[in-house]
Each structure stands twice: as C-alpha cells, then as structure tokens.
Amino acid sequence: MADLSRFAVNQMTTRSFTLRQAVEAYARHGIGGIGVWTQYLEDMTGAEAARLIRDAGLFVPCLCTTAWVNLRDPSALAAALDENRRRIDLAAEIGAACLVVVPGGLATGEKDLPAARARVGDALRALLPQAEAAGIKLGLEPLHPMYAAERSCLSTFAQCLALVEELGPGSGLVPDLYHCWWDPDFPAGLRQAGPDKILTFHLCDWLTPTRDVYQDRGMVGDGVIDIAFYRGLLDEIGFDGPFEIEIFSKLDWWLRDPEEVTRISVARCAPFVGPRIAQAAGL
C-alpha cells in the first residue's frame, strides 16, 4: 500500500464536497492531509473544523487564501488587512501550517505593475508580526503570468523567493507546478530556496490544449509536465514536506463524482508523494 502520509488533497480538487464530506473521504482513502479553503468554513467555527480534521487524523498544510491587498484606497486596504488578520487567526485555529498568499493583481484602472508589487510587499510586512505571533507562515504562491493583471502580481518563483528572503522566517513558498513548470529558472530557484523555505508543493498538470486559462488544470499524468523530474529535484534538495494535489477543472474533474476524483487523485499521485528516497533508505 502506498505511503500517503505526506500527501494532501486541496479541497478545490473536490469542489462539491463539504468540509465534512472531504475530511471523511480523504481519511477513508488513506490520505494524510487536507488543504482547506476559507469558504468551506462558513457553516462551522474554526474550533469545530479543527476537531473534525484532528479526529480524522489529517494534517492541514495550508489555508487558502488571503484576501486581496492590491488596493490603493486606504480604507479598503485597511479592511483587507483586517480580514487577513482574521484569516491568520483562523489558520492557527484549524492547525494549518500556512496561509496561502494570493494578493491580487493591478488595482482598478492601474497600469503600474511595479507599484502593485510594492504594495503587496508593504501589506505582507504589515501582516507578518501577527502571523509570527500565531505560528502561521505566510505562504507566497507564484501564479502564472496570465494571472498578473487580475489575481496575483507575484508571477515568478524568483520574485516570491526574493520577497521571502526579505520577510524572513515568518514566510515561505508554495510552489505549484501549474504556475511554475514553464519557468526556466524554476529548478534553480528550488535549489536556491532549499527545503526549509518550501511549505507545501502543489501537484497538477498542464493540458495541451488548455481549454480555459483559469480553470482547466490537468490531473497528474494527463499533461506535459515532467512531474517525476520535480519529485527527484525535491529529493535532491532534501525536501520532506507535504505534497498537495490542487485541480481547478470546470470542464472535467469538477463535473465528476468527487469520490471518483479522490480515488483517481490517490492513484495518480501515489508514485510522487512517498518518503524521500534517501530518507526511505535510512540515509
């Protein structure tokens, strides 16, 4: 039987499951963890969610995501920072290791991408003291450049790594193959980051052709990404952290029975999520 102790399913992969249904299904399939999204916590308290997850024996690699902080209006930005402080506390309450940062792209009517990125840095510096006090890391996830205008102005692994190095140990990286596989500097960036800065590693695939630029991620093994290469690289640098499958798929996987999606996720990811090779050999 495959060792799935490092493996988590991000809830968005089985979007139609409630949190309770997801927890029960993942545990039933022997999955180690669950990546939680804030909208699935609206009908229960953080304490109730934490107990549900803990009783099922699951770990929580992340809570997704921050509220956008790409705002130029001071009062709107203040409200967004307050919401993110609430989400930091919620992440701590449910036992998540990090809060995934998706900061937004350009503000309405804006064309100054460097200014947007500077505001994101300022916002993260403002949030960092509370995150550190709560024991929650801010997990910077580079998003594919096609998202830069709307969803995240943090487009490359190198940008996120530089910001993490500036922010210090209260932050880290959440690499996602869908967003980073194309980047020729991504492998070198992983080596530069080392294992301690990588908080959780997202698995999925890039389909050819891609039918929807936002919500047509491929199931592991169905696309063009050399996932085995990245697993080997992570072993090489000594990464022992969690792997998550995260699939946005309005044309395929979201239309299927989430139980089936869970089963196939396990089968496809099992070859890539076991113990590190050196660790398994006792080296």
- Read off the pLDDT of residues 40-72 as tens digits, 9 standing for 90 and up: 999 999 999 999 999 999 999 999 999 999 999
For residues 114 and 134, what is the distance between their CA atoms, to the nearest angstrom?
A: 30
Residue 283 is predicted with a pLDDT of 56
State the number of CA atoms in the 13 A half-sphere of 19 facing the CB.
23
Return the ∠ at Cα 160 (arms to 154 and 165), rounded to 5°: 150
With both helix axes pointing from N to C terminus, report the angle between 46-55 and 19-28 in degrees, rounded to the nearest 10. 10
Q: What is the pLDDT of residue 277?
A: 80
Using the structure block, give the residue that is written with the tokens 């403002």: 126
Nearest C-alpha neighbor of 42 from the set 86, 95, 5: 86
Q: Which pLDDT score is estimated for 213?
A: 84
Of 152, 201, 153, 157, give the one whose Cα is nearest residue 10: 201
Buried b (16+ CB within 10 A) or exposed e, 51-70: ebbeebebbbbbbbbbbbbb
Would you list the DSSP string of 3-40?
--TTEEEEGGGGTTS-HHHHHHHHHHTT--EEEEEGGG
> In the chain, what are the domains?
7-280 (3.20.20.150)
User: Are 120 and 77 spatial neighbours (Cβ–Cβ below 8 Å)?
Assistant: no
Question: Does residue 14 have a cis peptide bond before it, meaning omega lies within 30 degrees of 0?
Answer: no
Residues of the chain below pLDDT 50: none
